[in-house]
A and B are shown apart, each in its own frame.
Chain A
Amino acid sequence: MALSLSRIDDGGIRVICAVGDLDLSTTAAFEEEIAAAVATDVSAVVVDMSGVSFLDSAGINALLKGRRAADENGRVFRVEKPSGLVREVLLMTGVWPLLSGTPS
């Protein structure tokens, strides 16, 4: 399954809604979207994961790259609303505290 991306700008916050699979085959487009977002003058970039049904290690790496890119540009980066398997993967790989913005 492919990944579709849409964006909403709301009060200085860019929300990227990802729907589909975030895996090796779709991370390039996702990384571009994040890079574009952190380069704008928004204060925060939020990735809404509620529509993501599969996440592999390449997808996790893409999220982490997003966090690092946001740091470099002085933007807040937050991943929100992962569900089911995606949430489990984020928890089991230890990246959830960093990506959700909740201190571990």
Chain B
Amino acid sequence: MTGGPVTDDPSGAGRYRSVDGGRPTAVAEKLRRLQAVTDAALSQLGVEDLLDELLGRTMDLLTADIAAILLVDAHGQELVPTATRGLDEEIRLGIRVPMGQGLAGRVAEQGQPLVIEHVDAMSVVSPVLLSTGVRSMLGVPMFHGGQVIGVLHVGTRTPRRFTTDDVELLQLAADRASLATQARLSRLDRATTVALQRSLLPSRLPAVSGIEVAARYLPGDQVGVGGDWYDLFPLPSGLVGIAIGDVAGNGLHAAVVMGRIRSALRAYALEFDDPADVLTRLDRKVQLFEPGAMATALYAVLDPDTGALTASSAGHLPPVTARPDEQPQVLTVPPNLPLGAYPNAPRTTTGTVLDPGSCLFFYTDGLIERRGRSLTSSVDSLIEALTCAPPDALCTTAMAHALSDQPTADDIAVLALRWLGPPPGAATPAAAPEAVGASAQATPVRPVPAGRQGQTGPEPTRPGYRGTGSGRGSDGTSRRRASRHVVA
């Protein structure tokens, strides 16, 4: 600090008051200095260091002995000490100040500066604060978007009457702290969300014999990471579960709910083979444990031995299917209510049988939904752009198609797979269409061609196929049926 009457007083007591009104240039100098310090620090320091530096400078300028920044917790119930000078125990001991109580609690509740000239046990909450022998305190609110997000307060060990200049200076420091804190919070939020999304949406899906698969996730331009997810997993029965879904909303909360839904779906998939059964249980779980949340989801179960596919939709867009060298088409899976929509929603399973080499393509609404364009025409346009291709290429084509149009506001998840055909030596069971009737409400999607029933025998060439896997015996079909009967 430079010299001059303002900073010469070694005791510090009352020195700032001495300039109040009498030395406006000194005040302006202090404000300018504070601003300069924080501005420079913003670009060079991490947020923690910045807050610490800010507290140090504020203490210096106000000749205070302690200073602290307390932030309102996620539930808006308590203030949590986040950066302190002269009060390190507050953080270490995990002190919490309830809203409305003590100096900080009252500043936060009222959203206004508050002065305590004579501190006692009644006026502060933190025992650490009392133990420092603090006599006078000044606290100001930290705002973001009209909401109080925290409190910055300073204290002195000698009695002190804070001036309006002191309040203004502290408020300026609080505004700086708010900006930095908010930047940190949203950065943390974003980083956490992205990390969560990444951990839940592996770019490489597990290898499953008889199936090629690829998936992509793209955050939205406007919403960033959202609640879209995809999943594919082999089941002990030899069947393969395929899921895609979209939790309404975005940001960290949607991603967290998505993680729980995805995980619960896997758990129910272990217990039940019928997709409608899985989604019924999942829906019940969402209703109870995620009140107010809503998600669309499509869950399908594929038998890699036979190509039999069953699917149930909780308000999700229908997948696209394509036989080799044929124009893709929508696989009609009648949508039941989204997850979390309404108690005891009836759910149905729909079935079909894929031809060897057929592709399936699942997606979320971010891929096709554009303001002012009908969904039907968007789906039609997608179908025209797609061909049955290796899944990786299919995903790329679909993404390119969506993004060539206009940048997408919403996030996008896509999953493509190709069923290579029955394993060598495995007879295609004539009863494959029985899977279609697995659910009482089942509606055949695509009538199984009469000739198909006699179509047995392995595909002649299946380079990607590595024999039976996933702990499945050669007679995966009968084991699957056994488990279905167990749950029925």
- Residues B375 and A95 in contact, CB atoms below 8 Å apart: no
- Residues A94 and B315 in contact, CB atoms below 8 Å apart: yes
**Partner among A58, A67, A104 whose Cβ is within 8 Å of the Cβ of B346:** A104
With both beta carbons as reference points, the residue of chain A lying nearest to B296 in the complex is identified as: A93
- Collect the chain B residues with CB atoms within 8 Å of residue A60's CB: 248, 294, 315, 338
Per-residue interface assignment for chain A, residues 45 to 76, with 1 indicating a CB less than 8 Å from any chain B CB and 0 otherwise: 00000000110111011001101100000000
- Residues A98 and B342 in contact, CB atoms below 8 Å apart: yes
**Partner among B250, B314, B341, B374 whose Cβ is within 8 Å of the Cβ of A98:** B341
Known: A24-B250, A92-B317, A94-B313. 6 other contacts (CB 8 A): A64-B294, A64-B340, A85-B373, A93-B315, A94-B315, A94-B334
- Residues A61 and B313 in contact, CB atoms below 8 Å apart: no
- Collect the chain B residues with CB atoms within 8 Å of residue A17's CB: none
Number of A residues, CB within 8 Å of B: 23
B371 at the interface (CB under 8 A from A): yes
Q: Binding site of B, secondary structure by majority: helix, strand, loop or mixed?
A: loop
With both beta carbons as reference points, the residue of chain B lying nearest to A57 in the complex is identified as: B248
- Residues A98 and B337 in contact, CB atoms below 8 Å apart: yes
A84 at the interface (CB under 8 A from B): yes
Question: B residues 331-346 with Cβ under 8 Å of A?
Answer: 334-338, 340-342, 345-346
Q: How far is the CA of A84 from the CA of B346 in the complex (A)?
A: 27
A88 at the interface (CB under 8 A from B): yes
**Partner among A58, A68, A88, A94 whose Cβ is within 8 Å of the Cβ of B376:** A88
A89 at the interface (CB under 8 A from B): yes
Give A residues with C-beta under 8 Å from B.
24, 53-54, 56-58, 60-61, 64-65, 67-68, 84-85, 88-89, 91-95, 98, 104
Q: How far is the CA of A57 from the CA of B318 in the complex (A)?
A: 16
- Residues A57 and B336 in contact, CB atoms below 8 Å apart: no
Q: What are 27 residue pairs bridging A and B, where the CB atoms are less than 8 Å apart in the complex?
A: A24-B223, A24-B250, A54-B372, A56-B248, A56-B369, A57-B246, A57-B248, A57-B249, A60-B248, A61-B292, A61-B294, A61-B340, A64-B340, A64-B341, A88-B376, A89-B375, A92-B315, A92-B375, A93-B315, A94-B313, A94-B314, A94-B336, A94-B337, A95-B338, A95-B341, A98-B341, A98-B345
**Partner among A57, A65, A84, A98 whose Cβ is within 8 Å of the Cβ of B292:** A65
- Residues B342 and A57 in contact, CB atoms below 8 Å apart: no
Using A57-B294, A57-B365 as known contacts, say yes or no to A85 and B374 having CB atoms under 8 A apart: yes
Using A54-B371, A94-B336 as known contacts, say yes or no to A64 and B313 having CB atoms under 8 A apart: no
* Distance from B348 Cβ to chain A, minimum over Cβ atoms (Å): 10
Q: How far is the CA of A94 from the CA of B334 in the complex (A)?
A: 8
With both beta carbons as reference points, the residue of chain A lying nearest to B222 in the complex is identified as: A24
Using A93-B335, A93-B338 as known contacts, say yes or no to A88 and B294 having CB atoms under 8 A apart: no
Q: How far is the CA of A12 from the CA of B29 in the complex (A)?
A: 67
Number of B residues, CB within 8 Å of A: 33
- Residues A84 and B374 in contact, CB atoms below 8 Å apart: yes
Question: B residues 364-418 with Cβ under 8 Å of A?
Answer: 365, 369, 371-376, 410
With both beta carbons as reference points, the residue of chain A lying nearest to B370 in the complex is identified as: A85
* Distance from A99 Cβ to chain B, minimum over Cβ atoms (Å): 9
With both beta carbons as reference points, the residue of chain A lying nearest to B313 in the complex is identified as: A94
Question: B residues 280-295 with Cβ under 8 Å of A?
Answer: 292, 294
- Collect the chain B residues with CB atoms within 8 Å of residue A91's CB: 335
- Collect the chain B residues with CB atoms within 8 Å of residue A61's CB: 248, 292, 294, 340
Q: How far is the CA of A54 from the CA of B369 in the complex (A)?
A: 10
**Partner among B249, B369, B374 whose Cβ is within 8 Å of the Cβ of A58:** B249
The 8 closest A-B pairs by CB, nearest first: A94-B335, A93-B315, A57-B248, A61-B294, A94-B315, A88-B375, A61-B248, A64-B341
Per-residue interface assignment for chain B, residues 86 to 129, with 1 indicating a CB less than 8 Å from any chain A CB and 0 otherwise: 00000000000000000000000000000000000000000000
* Distance from B380 Cβ to chain A, minimum over Cβ atoms (Å): 12
- Collect the chain A residues with CB atoms within 8 Å of residue B337's CB: 94-95, 98
- Collect the chain A residues with CB atoms within 8 Å of residue B346's CB: 104
- Collect the chain B residues with CB atoms within 8 Å of residue A92's CB: 315, 317-318, 335, 375
Question: B residues 299-325 with Cβ under 8 Å of A?
Answer: 313-318
* Distance from B465 Cβ to chain A, minimum over Cβ atoms (Å): 36
* Distance from A7 Cβ to chain B, minimum over Cβ atoms (Å): 24
- Residues B338 and A94 in contact, CB atoms below 8 Å apart: yes
**Partner among A67, A85, A94, A104 whose Cβ is within 8 Å of the Cβ of B375:** A85
Q: How far is the CA of A24 from the CA of B227 in the complex (A)?
A: 14
Q: How far is the CA of A29 from the CA of B431 in the complex (A)?
A: 54
- Residues B249 and A24 in contact, CB atoms below 8 Å apart: yes
- Collect the chain B residues with CB atoms within 8 Å of residue A65's CB: 292
- Collect the chain A residues with CB atoms within 8 Å of residue B246's CB: 57
Per-residue interface assignment for chain B, residues 325 to 364, with 1 indicating a CB less than 8 Å from any chain A CB and 0 otherwise: 0000000001111101110011000000000000000000
- Collect the chain B residues with CB atoms within 8 Å of residue A68's CB: 342
Q: How far is the CA of A94 from the CA of B317 in the complex (A)?
A: 10
- Residues B374 and A88 in contact, CB atoms below 8 Å apart: yes
- Collect the chain A residues with CB atoms within 8 Å of residue B373's CB: 85
- Collect the chain A residues with CB atoms within 8 Å of residue B250's CB: 24
Residue from B314, B337, B372 whose CB has the most chain A CB atoms within 10 Å: B337
